[in-house]
């Protein structure tokens, strides 16, 4: 088999075991309050939802950071830390730098099997070490080169209060060479190739498990630079940064033989096919389509029907976006389009907008598929970050954090300046195989799994509490900002305590409220019945003993489907 055929097969394999994360990027000029915003969803069948906390400040001499491979927890490199690091809450640091990602796979042979750092290690260390988005790009590029990049292809969203960048990276594979002098074997291809592009202010972007950077301006020292020119990193005119050998390595690997101006990172390192469009680009298109009326022209591309009419990397929204908008985008299952998952027979009688794996399946020798949407059942955690330049960093940075399915979670504001996280969200409190009844992840999963049983009947109860909580948080934030700023001007440490108390109490209250919701819907929908209630109080008969129970009927189309499939088997005979 040729290298090209092997690469295509490997890409198809990645899509059949898809890493389903969806990320949005919003520049300050495109947001309603002038903040930079990114979103992220840690979608995985094996990952647990928890809020990470890395303490910043002075480090003891000899301190190091142990990197573990995200896909298996295999120990990788132990990387020395400098004298001082930044505090990190989830994926935003105390300087308001935020990072998210999606995996795009790409050519499988480019994974460095000897690499010492994976994509999560790059993100975590960049947040510990970088005071700006540009510095984060530098940290990621340098660490990948120094330690070897263990993961497959990744798209990073990187934001600070002033700028938002998209960065795409892939390794160089493993080419072993023996050093006769040291008697050691090493990888002569150690490192990674990558491109980072600044999203123009006033525009938005998105990525969802497929590389989206195509062609880009090559180095001229004014608009773009390579990693050999990091001394020009903070020149505000620089809008593109890339690995100096990103094209040369493609030529060497026989992925590309055209002119430099024709080089497209995505087309070379992660070739597009039907699966990449339908399972990945469709999620980007759906978000773009909600904010830009010109996106109809790209629907056939996103659905895999016409791969030649590729969507732009960024678009200008017709209205400025808020945190609430991004939260709603995270709950997208193609509703309002012809591809709405809740509107075909796969959703069952209760219109469930989910499909269990596998993503593709065969009938009579033909391969079919389920839609892959932004909202999915196997989410560990997700977030929207805000980086706000008009406020001090501890107050300006917020990570709106939720666990489990984005469609049924609640996004809670956690300020960058807090000194601890809520206990029910804390890393290590429960795991994906260790049930803790008070852990946020398990409480939210109880509600979502019950909701999946009869989605159209129960989702209204979930939405009611979800909106009650999220609306109140959005109303609280301006007042909390103001109070925290007053305290910060007098005593920054006291402001940190105030923000911690707010974020922790909101997290704890949300978990308690969600447990109450679970108990309520468990009682209300027990055994397929519906107990009548008013404002959360169940109605009883005139003697106050038994509830008033209704029996929801199957929709007529579902009953007709049963008749079509079973004929007279269930025909009632007089």
Q: To which H or E segment does residue 306 belong?
A: none
220, part of any domain? yes
498, part of any domain? yes
503, part of any domain? yes
Do 363 and 483 fall into the same domain? Answer: no
Select from 369, 403, 418 the last residue of a domain: 369
Do 32 and 181 fall into the same domain? Answer: yes
* Of the candidates 474, 480, 471, 326, the residue with the CA atom closest to the CA atom of residue 417: 480
Q: What does the alpha-carbon distance between residue 378 and residue 381 come to, in Å, rounded to a whole number?
A: 9
Do 279 and 260 fall into the same domain? Answer: yes
How does pLDDT run across 469-478, given as a tens digit for each residue?
A: 999 999 999 9
107, part of any domain? yes
147, part of any domain? yes
Do 137 and 187 fall into the same domain? Answer: yes
Q: How far is CA 254 from the centre of its chain?
A: 32
* Of the candidates 41, 538, 560, 224, the residue with the CA atom closest to the CA atom of residue 529: 538
Residues of the chain with pLDDT under 70: 1-20
Do 250 and 175 fall into the same domain? Answer: yes
Judged on CB neighbours under 10 Å (0-12, 13-18, 19+), 183 is: exposed
Residue given tokens 């989410």 in the structure block: 379
Question: Can you list the alpha helix ranges (DSSP code H) found in 253-312?
Answer: 265-269, 274-276, 282-291, 299-302
Q: What is the DSSP letter of 281?
A: I
Contact status, residue 48 vs residue 431, Cβ threshold 8 Å: yes
461, part of any domain? yes
Select from 369, 402, 420 the last residue of a domain: 369
Q: What does the alpha-carbon distance between residue 229 and residue 522 come to, in Å, rounded to a whole number?
A: 60
- pLDDT at residue 20, rounded to an integer: 61
Residue 335: partners with Cβ closer than 8 Å, 6 or more residues away: 342, 353
Dihedral pair phi/psi, residue 34, rounded to 5°: 80, 10
- What 3-state DSSP class applies to 463? helix
Q: What does the alpha-carbon distance between residue 88 and residue 426 come to, in Å, rounded to a whole number?
A: 13
First and final C-alpha spacing in the chain: 67
Do 322 and 451 fall into the same domain? Answer: no
Do 215 and 293 fall into the same domain? Answer: yes
Do 207 and 66 fall into the same domain? Answer: yes
Q: To which H or E segment does residue 129 belong?
A: helix 119-129
How does pLDDT run across 300-322, given as a tens digit for each residue?
A: 999 999 999 999 999 999 999 99
Structural domains counted in the chain = 3
* CA distances to 40, 92, 165, 376, 417 from 126, in Å: 16, 10, 14, 28, 18
Q: Would you say the C-alpha torsion 431, 434, 435, 439 has a positive or negative sign? A: negative
Do 340 and 443 fall into the same domain? Answer: no
Contact status, residue 4 vs residue 340, Cβ threshold 8 Å: no
- pLDDT at residue 75, rounded to an integer: 97
Do 222 and 172 fall into the same domain? Answer: yes
Which region, left, alpha or beta, applies to residue 248 given φ > 0 means left and ψ of -120 to 50 means alpha? alpha
Strands (E), 458-550: 530-531, 533-534, 537-538, 549-550
Q: What does the alpha-carbon distance between residue 33 and residue 402 come to, in Å, rounded to a whole number?
A: 22
Please give the model's pTM, rounded to 2 decimal places. Answer: 0.95
> What residues make up the domain containing 131?
3-369
* CA distances to 14, 45, 384 from 400, in Å: 30, 22, 5
91, part of any domain? yes
241, part of any domain? yes
Do 36 and 121 fall into the same domain? Answer: yes
- pLDDT at residue 19, rounded to an integer: 54
The Cβ of residue 519 has, within 10 Å, a number of other Cβ atoms equal to: 12
Question: Can you list the alpha helix ranges (DSSP code H) found in 130-281?
Answer: 133-147, 246-252, 265-269, 274-276
Do 536 and 522 fall into the same domain? Answer: no
Tokens of 340: 């709405």
- pLDDT at residue 11, rounded to an integer: 40
């Amino acid at each position: 088999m040729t290298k090209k055929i092997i690469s295509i097969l490997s890409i198809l394999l990645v899509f059949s075991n898809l890493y389903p994360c969806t990320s949005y990027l919003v520049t300050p000029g495109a947001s309603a309050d002038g903040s930079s915003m990114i979103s992220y969803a840690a979608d995985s069948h094996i990952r647990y939802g928890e809020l990470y906390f890395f303490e910043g400040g002075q480090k003891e001499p000899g301190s190091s950071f142990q990197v573990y491979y995200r896909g298996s927890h295999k120990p990788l490199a132990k990387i020395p830390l400098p004298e001082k690091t930044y505090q990190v809450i989830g994926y935003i640091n105390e300087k308001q730098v935020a990072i998210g990602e999606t995996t795009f796979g790409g050519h499988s042979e480019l994974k460095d099997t000897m690499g010492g750092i994976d994509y999560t290690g790059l993100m975590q260390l960049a947040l510990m070490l970088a005071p700006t988005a540009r510095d984060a790009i530098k940290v990621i590029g340098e660490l990948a080169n120094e330690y070897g990049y263990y993961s497959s292809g990744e798209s990073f969203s990187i934001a600070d209060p002033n700028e938002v960048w998209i960065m795409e990276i892939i390794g160089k594979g493993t080419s072993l060479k023996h050093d006769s002098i040291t008697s050691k074997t090493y990888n002569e291809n150690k490192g990674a190739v990558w491109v980072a592009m600044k999203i123009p202010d006033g525009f938005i972007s998105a990525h969802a498990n497929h590389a989206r950077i195509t062609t880009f301006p090559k180095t001229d020292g004014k608009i773009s630079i390579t990693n050999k020119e990091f001394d020009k990193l903070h020149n505000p005119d620089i809008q593109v940064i890339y690995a100096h050998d990103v094209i040369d390595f493609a030529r060497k690997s026989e992925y590309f033989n055209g002119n430099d101006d024709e080089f497209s990172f995505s087309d070379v390192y992660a070739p597009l096919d039907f699966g990449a469009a339908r399972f990945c680009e469709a999620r980007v298109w759906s978000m773009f389509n909600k904010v830009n009326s010109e996106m109809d022209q790209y629907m056939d591309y996103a659905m895999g029907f016409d791969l030649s009419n590729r969507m732009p990397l960024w678009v200008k929204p017709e209205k400025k976006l808020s945190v609430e908008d991004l939260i709603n985008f995270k709950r997208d299952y193609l509703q309002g389009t012809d591809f709405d998952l809740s509107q075909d027979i796969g959703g069952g009688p209760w219109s469930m907008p989910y499909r269990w794996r596998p993503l593709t399946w065969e009938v009579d020798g033909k391969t079919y598929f389920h839609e892959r949407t932004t909202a999915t059942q196997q989410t560990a955690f997700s977030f929207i970050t805000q980086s706000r330049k008009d406020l001090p960093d501890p107050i300006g940075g917020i990570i709106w954090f939720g666990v489990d399915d984005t469609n049924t979670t609640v996004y809670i504001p956690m300020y960058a300046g807090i000194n601890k996280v809520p206990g029910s969200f804390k890393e290590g409190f429960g795991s994906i195989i260790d049930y803790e009844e008070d852990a946020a992840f398990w409480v939210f999963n109880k509600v979502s799994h019950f909701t999946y049983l009869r989605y159209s009947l129960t989702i209204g109860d979930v939405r009611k509490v979800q909106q009650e909580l999220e609306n109140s948080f959005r109303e609280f934030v301006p007042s909390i900002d103001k109070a925290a700023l007053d305290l910060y001007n007098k005593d920054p440490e006291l402001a940190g305590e105030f923000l911690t108390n707010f974020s922790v109490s909101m997290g704890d209250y949300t978990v308690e409220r969600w447990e109450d919701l679970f108990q309520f819907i468990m009682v209300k929908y027990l055994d397929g019945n519906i107990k009548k209630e008013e404002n959360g109080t169940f109605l009883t008969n005139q003697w106050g003993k038994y509830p008033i129970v209704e029996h929801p009927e199957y929709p007529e189309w579902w009953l007709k489907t049963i008749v079509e499939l079973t004929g007279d088997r269930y025909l009632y005979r007089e």
